[in-house]
Amino acid sequence: MKVLISDRMDPRSADYLASHGIEPVVKVGLPSGELKPLLADIEGWIVRSGTTITDELMEAAPRLRVIGRAGVGVDNIDVGAATRRGIVVINAPDGNTLSTAEHTCAMLMAVARTVPQAHGSMISGAWDRKSYTGTELFGKTLGIVGVGKVGQAVAERMAAFGVRLLGFDPVVTKEVVERLGIELVSLDELVERSDIITVHTPLTDLTRNLFDDKLFARCRKGVMIVNCARGGIIDEVALVRALDAGIVSGAALDVYSQEPPSDELRALLRHDRIVQTPHIAASTHEAQQKVADQVTEQVVSALRGEPVATPVNAAAIKMASRPEMQPFMELTEALGRFVAQVAGVRAISRVKVRISGDVPHKAVQVLSVAALKGILSELTDETVNLVNAVLLADQAGLRVDEEVAGSAADYQNLVEVLLDTADGPHRVAGTVFGGQEIRIVRIDDFWVEVKPEGWILFYRNEDRPGMLAAVGSLLAASGINIGTAALGRAEARREALTIMRVDEALSSAQLDQIGRLEGVRDVRQLRVGG
C-alpha cells in the first residue's frame, strides 16, 4: 500500500505511514505531468496547498481511496470529482488554532506597548523613552468579533490580563461562550464599548470591508484594532483615515486585502502606528506538526476502513446523492446562503426548515443540513459541508427545527428557511420548476421570483411610480447591466421589495448612491451560486 506526499510536510507524516506498514512516496514540487506516472498504484495522497488535484489526475490513480489536505481549505482539490469517484477527502482544520490565537495575543501586546516602534528606535541609535509610553491592558475591554475556535482561544488567554471580554458572533449563542466570561453583544455595542478589538471572522460578502468609515465612526476614541483573520475584513484605507483622525490609536495586521501588499497598499501600511507581520499567524513548527499528524492519522484510518473525524465530502449522506434530490439540495443551500445575507451580521438563535407540497417527507432532514451548510458558509470561518454542518450548528448552540406541512398553495413544491435573529425573524422560500429549475419565490413578506445566481441587488422602497427608473438610471450611468428584475409588495402604495440580478458587483460608493435616493432603504448586494 502506497501514499503519495507531493507537498512539503513535516517528516513525522512519512514516519507515521511507515510505522503502520504503508509505503510513503515523497515527491515534492513536481508538475502534474511528472506526477502522473506515480499515480497508478497509490491508494492515498497527502497535500498542502501547492498541489492541485484535478479530475484528470484522479483518473490516472485508479486505486486512490483517500486524499488528505494538511490544512483547512480544499480549494486545490476537485472535491466533486473525488465524491463521484468514491474518494474520501479529509482535512485538518484544528492544527493552527493555538498558533493563530497566540500570534493575535502577541500582536495585541505589541501594539499596546509600541514594541516594534521602540525596537526600531533603539536600532537607529536613539534612547527615546517618552515617545513609546504604552497602554496597560488590565481593566480594559476587549471586543472579539467572531467567537469561534480562535476567538475563544484568544479570550481564554487574554482573560489572564484582567480584561473585560465582549463578543459578537451571528451564530454562537451566549450559553456557548458564557463559560469563558464573554458577554455576547451586537456588533454596534461591541465597537462602542471596546478599548481593543480583535477580528476572527471569515471573509465573505457580509464581512468584506466590515470595518469601514461608518463602523470606525462608532468606535470608542483611541481604540486599538488587531486582524489576524482574513485580509479585506478591514478597509485599510478607512483604517488609515481612522488613525489620522485619532479614532484608532494603533493597529496590528497579519493579513491584507492583497497579499503580498501592492506598492499602493504598502504606502498606506507604512503608518507609524500600524504593526505588521506577513501572514504568519498560523506559521509555527508546532502547527505544522499538528496538521501533519492529524491528516496522516486520518488517512491511515480511512485506508483501514475506519471512521474519520473531518471528512470534507458528503458521501455519508446517501439521500443527498440521489438525482431527484439534487435540485432540492441546490435550492435549499441557496436559500440558506440568501437568508444569511439578508439577515446580515445579526445574531441567529434558531433555524427552521419547512417543506410542503411535492417534496419527499423524508427529505426534510437532509434539506435542513443543506440549509445549515448555506447559512454557516456565509457566517463562519469553518469549512462547512454536509457531514459537519449539524455538528458546527450544535457547537454554536444553534437551535434547528424541521417541519413537514401540507400543500404548497400556488406551488407544486415549496422549501422555506426561517431564521430567528436578534433583530427579528427572516424568511425565504423557493421552489423547483419542472424538476430542475430553482427559484426563490418569497423574501420575508414579499412574493417575488428570482433565480438564485450571481450578483443580486436587493433593496426596499416606497411603492410609487418612478422608483425602479431612478435606480435603473443610476446603474446605467455606472455601466451596470441589469439581467432581470423582480418586484414584490405586500400592500399597494406602501412598501415594495426590488431584486435585480446584475452582471457585475457594485462598488460601495455605487451602493451608497442608491441608498441616498429618496424612498430607497436597506440597500444590499448579495451573491448566491455562480
Active site residues: 230, 259, 279
* Cα 107–Cα 112–Cα 116 angle in degrees, nearest 5: 60
CB 21 within 8 A of CB 305: no
Pairing of strands 274-276, 182-184: unpaired
Is the preceding omega at residue 202 within 30 degrees of 0, hence cis?
no
For residue 158 the three cell numbers come to 487574554
Q: Which residues pair with 147 in a beta bridge?
A: none
CB 44 within 8 A of CB 299: yes
Please list the alpha-helical segments (H only) found in 388-493: 389-395, 467-477
CA dihedral 486, 490, 496, 497 (to 10 degrees): -50
Three-class SS of residue 511? helix
Three-state SS string over 47-88 comes to: ECCCCCECHHHHHCCCCCCEEEECCCCCCCECHHHHHHCCCE
Write down how long the chain is.
530
Pairing of strands 44-47, 66-69: parallel
Query: What's the CA gap between 511 and 214, in Å, rounded?
Result: 14
CB 260 within 8 A of CB 233: no
Which residues neighbour 47 within 8 Å (Cβ) at sequence distance 6 or greater?
5, 6, 7, 53, 67, 68, 69, 70, 76, 77
Helix axes 115-123, 97-112, angle to 10 degrees: 60
Backbone phi, then psi, for 310, in 5-degree steps?
Answer: -130, 60
How far lies 197's CA from each of 109, 186, 230, 382, in Å?
Answer: 12, 13, 15, 21
Please list the alpha-helical segments (H only) found in 89-235: 97-112, 115-123, 149-158, 174-177, 187-193, 213-218
Q: How many CB atoms lie within 10 A of CB 477?
A: 10
For residue 198 the three cell numbers come to 480583535
Is the preceding omega at residue 452 within 30 degrees of 0, hence cis?
no
